[in-house]
Amino acid sequence: MPLVSGAITEHGAVIGVQVGVSESRRRLLVKHGMPVPSPVTVFAQIDTGAFATLFTPEIFGRLGAPPFRTISVRTPSTKRGEPCQCDQYDVSVTLASGDLTEYFPSVHAIAAEDFDSEEEIQALIGRDVLARCNFFYLGRERRFQIGF
Amino acid sequence: MAVALERELDTFRRELPRLLQEGNQGKFVLIHRDQVDSVWDSLDAALEAGYDRFGLEAFMVKEITALENPRYLSRNVKRCP
């Protein structure tokens, strides 16, 4: 099992990811002779508290990917009994570190505006992706490992 | 925030009582504009059907349930004012 290792920073466990159109959408674009948008590279925080992976709406806009679903979500700022409806998108995600990459052809990611443009972090990797990996948090060594 | 699928959401809300009455609780409906296209046992099956039938056009997949239990995120999805 290939392992990616990194240091625990002030942002926690951070990994570079590429977000692209889903494999299904890519095949359709090719079939219709349309250009496939280039993947977008961002730094993502690994978050075991998030049930889904999050990206900013701008990323989905750059990919030209429409939402396919809405889901009801509670967040730290929603009031009890008043969840918000979020758009969910079908995208591809590639986790990358050095020469190691792991490609996930279909990830159902949520659009989240709560990232500042000056932040290093522009995404969260949630349990939907982590369910396909092994994640080790080595607190004493201030390092993490993620295995594909 | 879910403005893009507003038309499909309206269709879902209108058709939900009938879908539930027909015994589709827990299944996934595929909606295109003002029409319910089909019902599927899984989210992935409905999503693939959406790509097959509607290609690059927008469509919506939604779980058929009388009460949607919200999921929890540790980060806000909208900026605080």
Of A70, A72, A71, residue with least CA distance to A83: A72
Cβ contact (<8 Å) for A50 and B74?
yes
Tell me whether residue B45 is exposed, middle or buried, using C-beta atoms within 10 angstroms of its C-beta: 0 to 12, 13 to 18, 19 or more.
middle
Of B2, B51, B80, the CB nearest to A24: B51
Of residues A117 and B62, which shows the higher confidence score?
A: B62
The predicted-structure confidence for A109-128, as pLDDT tens digits, reads as follows 998 887 777 778 889 999 99
Confidence of residue B1 (pLDDT cuts 50, 70, 90): very low
Cβ contact (<8 Å) for A29 and B51?
no
* Segment B17-34 mean pLDDT: 97
Taking CB atoms and an 8 Å cutoff, what residues of chain B touch A86?
Answer: 1-2, 77
Interface contact B78, partner A, CB < 8 A = yes
Interface contact B81, partner A, CB < 8 A = no
User: A124 near B75, Cβ under 8 Å?
Assistant: yes
Question: Å from A100 to nearest chain B CA?
Answer: 28
The ipTM value here is 0.89
